[in-house]
Structure 1
Amino acid sequence: MKPGSKWRYAAVAAALLSTAALAKDGPVAPNGRHYLSQPLVTSIYTADPSAHVFNGKIYIYPSHDIKTNIPDDDLGSQYAMRDYRVLEMDHVGGKVTVGPVALDVDQVPWAAKQMWAPDAAYKNGTYYLYFPARDHQGIFRIGVATSKNPMGPFKADPKPIPGAYSIDPAVFTDSDGKSYMYFGGIWGGQLQRWVTGKYNPHGSATDLHQDDKPALTAKVAMLAPDMQHLAEKPRDVVILGKDGKPVTGGEHDKRFFEASWMFKRDGKYYFTYSTGDTHFLAYAIGDNPYGPFHYKGHFLLPVQGWTTHQSIVKHNGKWWLFYADTQLSNKNSLRNVKVTQLHFNPDGTIQTIDPFTH
């Protein structure tokens, strides 16, 4: 999570935000344009929204950003989140309810700090909250907690999920009832330290630095019926370029960085992700949950802030993209969740969204 050296608006952001006037199109952004969407909530900072439809309502499981004096660094030390709060709404555009604390780091025996981007799932009357956190050795693990209420509170399993590691768990349940977990993130997410399947504390701090080799990519594994364990050894989520070869580490505008999210439409599997230091949301399409997936392009251009993290759901006959930016704070580690409609072309490709309007 690199802070601001490549962030296109940082040089003028503070001054512009402090004097921004409300125009008829809404607040003026630091780049002089207007935001496409407005924050869903302003009482707390939220990011990394994982949206799901349960019982006809939309529930959003975001990170809960908090203020900190920790300096920004490439490994994301400034992202010091410690708990989760769930957002609920009947429909997009309706009232958003902010739930109480659903899970706190002090309630997770194995976790020490940094409760980053979570996800959720439902099966047989139980809601599952999947979350990454650093353990007491500083290693990112992925845990799971359960509840009978989609808003929580959730009770964490005493140990992390065996075989799962790094960050950004995303659980997809297919039409046949089988569920799959996608996970991983490079740089601060430590995926580059798991190349052999075991954690290497002396591995690269960011990535493999092999621009001509296949890029590090997300992992996927089927979940066991209890939804609390992996049913198999994780495998690579292979993303192929137009040449039919895996996207390389040097293709920073295409390669996986973090923020896996899977959805299915018209029999096709859409693997979406963030390119991180190039600030795009990208996607690739495959014929099954494991892939391989064929790279198709970007569907969200850079937002205000270092990067974003997405989820995509269908509700009331429309597809919705949930994402985040830094409109409220102008600080990379204090973000706000937003939503906008997602549109598809006749061939199934996604129309690119600009997070700003003229």
Structure 2
Amino acid sequence: MKKQFLTALFLATSLAVFAQSKKPISKPLVSHIYTADPSAHVFNGKIYIYPSHDIESGVPQDDEGGHFDMKDYHILSMDKIGGKVTDHGVALDIKNIPWAGRQLWAPDAAFKNGTYYLYFPVKDKKDVFRMGVATSKSPVGPFKAEKEPIKGSFSIDPSVFKDTDGNFYMYFGGIWGGQLQRWKTGSYDPKGKLQNDNQPALAPKIAKLSKDMLSFAEEAKDVKILDKNGKVLLAGDNSKRFFEASWVHKYKGKYYFSYSTGDTHLINYATGNNPYGPFTYQGVVLNPVEGWTNHHSIVEVEGKWYLFYHDVQLSGKTHLRNVKVTELKHNSDGSIQTITAYK
């Protein structure tokens, strides 16, 4: 894994040098704080963004992402794309999550029956990532966390998708520092390793949410990502296989599962006919951005589609990122036009 990390770090550095020589197509939405991993939603006609809040915590950079040591969440909003962005302050602090240990990573949100739900990964007091949920009557909080993590949850990057039939599903998982490889047997193994290159890639997970939105209605299942020949992607195909950052949107009856490839820094997408998949790999949504990570969301606003993403334009540092937005376009056949974040 160390060799993989060093190779990826070299690639990321090269990409950053390339990116800095180009002009970004979008500006950071806010510059007074560092933000990343933007999960965007339209609630009651207004755009709300639920990002990570990057800080300089003094933790040395490591292969497990220990330097991404976030302590709270700030929620952003705007009335329209390109409009004024409001930071609504701290919506949830790690100090107010009874079971939390450290590292609040990428969150997501949902709305049902007058209540807003904030879903988040954080390491428990045994340093194991679990999924938590907090509630509020306001989309911007403050949110009150449940006393325990969601039973049966693990790893990182919760993404909650509301289908047209009203059912909600959580997609989650991330390899390397996201600990997904430690759950291969169904229970936590601190020594769990990544797949060999010739083995099927580790799959992201899906679980239908219960009616109260506070628990899983079923045991988490694998989300299979296939190549055009119907074969599961292999771990060695790291320009296509899943790494982290699940997101699902629905377009003209098709389900689009998009995700980050991590060490190759792409946002890819695959399509399927139901929320459980399988999903067939189709191509690249977003080419590599400046910085090591790539994490996104895709949302429709007033008939147009937009990609929310991040890079490190403001700081130049991997762990101090800034969220951005740009228009995303589907072709007439449903395919997505690949976006390059620099001119």
Residue 148 of structure 2 is aligned to residue 143 of structure 1 = no
Residue 48 of structure 2 is aligned to residue 43 of structure 1 = no
Of residues 279, 297, 316, the one that matches 1:311 is: 297
Aligned amino acid, residue 111 of structure 1: A
Deviation at 1:11, TM superposition (A): 8.1
Deviation at 1:129, TM superposition (A): 0.1
Counterpart of 1:301 in structure 2 is 287
Q: 4+ runs of 1 displaced by more than 3 Å? A: 8-13
Task: State the Cα RMSD in Å.
Answer: 1.3
The sequence identity of aligned pairs, in percent, is 60
Pairing of 1:259-274 with structure 2 (within 5 A): 259-274=245-260
Whether the 8 Å CA contact 2:16–2:289 is kept in 1: the answer is no
Counterpart of 1:54 in structure 2 is 43
Counterpart of 1:276 in structure 2 is 262
Deviation at 1:311, TM superposition (A): 0.3
Of residues 68, 73, 81, the one that matches 2:62 is: 73
Of residues 166, 178, 181, the one that matches 1:189 is: 178
Of residues 107, 122, 125, the one that matches 1:118 is: 107
1:192 aligned counterpart, secondary structure: helix
Deviation per CA, 1:7-33, whole angstroms, max 9, x where unpaired? 1437858xxxxxxxxxxxxxxx52x21
- In structure 1, how many angstroms separate the alpha carbons of the residues matched to 2:175 and 2:331? 31
Of residues 3, 7, 14, the one that matches 1:9 is: 14
Aligned amino acid, residue 4 of structure 1: L
Deviation at 1:68, TM superposition (A): 2.3
Unaligned runs of 5+ in 1: 14-28
Of residues 185, 208, 211, the one that matches 1:225 is: 211
1:4 aligned counterpart, secondary structure: helix
TM-score, normalised with respect to structure 2:
0.96
Counterpart of 2:328 in structure 1 is 342
Whether the 8 Å CA contact 1:9–1:304 is kept in 2: the answer is no
- In structure 2, how many angstroms separate the alpha carbons of the residues matched to 1:319 and 1:202? 41
- In structure 2, how many angstroms separate the alpha carbons of the residues matched to 1:175 and 1:12? 43
How many residue pairs match? The answer is 338
Aligned amino acid, residue 354 of structure 1: T
Deviation at 1:257, TM superposition (A): 0.1
Unaligned runs of 5+ in 2: none
TM-score, normalised with respect to structure 1:
0.92
1:145 aligned counterpart, secondary structure: strand
Q: 1:290 to 1:11 in 2, by over 3 A?
A: closer
Of residues 202, 205, 222, the one that matches 1:216 is: 202
Aligned amino acid, residue 104 of structure 1: D
Of residues 137, 162, 165, the one that matches 2:154 is: 165
Counterpart of 1:180 in structure 2 is 169
